[in-house]
């Protein structure tokens, strides 16, 4: 019984840390990798180019996305970083959008863990589908 209580308290502590850990925008607000072109899943998330769209269009989609908020930058600066949180535990993921010639480059990655289980690639795919529906 005591071991179960201890495990439950430890789990609650992990969830509290994930939800309440402070965000350091300087750590996440960096231009997407330039050596990756096109759509590419990476160990630390996903990189995708959105051709023929503006950073303002992408900003509207990101701000409307559930549990997503900007943490640094602006479309006027040409670089914006957003935090998106999972529904249940609140795992944070960070997506940086950068205006590049011909469109926008996105880099979406997780803060905790070794794998994001594909959620960052799925978010970028959903944003692409939304863009396609808006055209």
* Residues 99 and 79 sit within 8 Å (Cβ to Cβ): yes
Banded pLDDT at 117 (limits 50, 70, 90): confident
Tokens 């899943």 locate to 41
Write the pLDDT tens digit of every residue in 74-115.
999 999 999 999 888 888 999 999 999 999 999 999 988 777
Q: What mean pLDDT is predicted for residues 30-57? A: 79
Domains of the chain as residue ranges with CATH = 24-134 (3.30.310)
Q: How far apart are CA 41 and CA 109, in angstroms?
A: 10
Cα end-to-end span (Å), the chain: 58
Q: What is the DSSP secondary structure assignment for residue 110, as one 8-state letter?
A: E
Q: What is the DSSP secondary structure assignment for residue 79, as one 8-state letter?
A: E
């Amino acid at each position: 019984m005591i071991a179960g209580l201890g495990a439950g308290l430890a789990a609650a502590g992990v969830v509290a840390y994930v939800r309440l850990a402070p965000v350091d925008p300087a750590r996440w607000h960096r231009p997407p990798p330039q050596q990756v072109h096109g759509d590419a899943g990476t160990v630390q998330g996903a990189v995708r180019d959105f051709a023929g769209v503006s950073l303002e269009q992408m900003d509207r989609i990101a701000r409307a996305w559930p549990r997503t908020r900007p943490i640094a930058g602006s479309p006027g600066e040409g670089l914006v970083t957003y935090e998106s949180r999972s529904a249940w535990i609140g795992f944070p993921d960070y997506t940086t959008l950068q205006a590049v010639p011909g469109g926008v480059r996105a880099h979406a990655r997780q803060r905790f863990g070794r794998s994001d289980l594909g959620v960052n690639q799925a978010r970028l795919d959903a944003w692409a589908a939304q863009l396609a529906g808006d055209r």
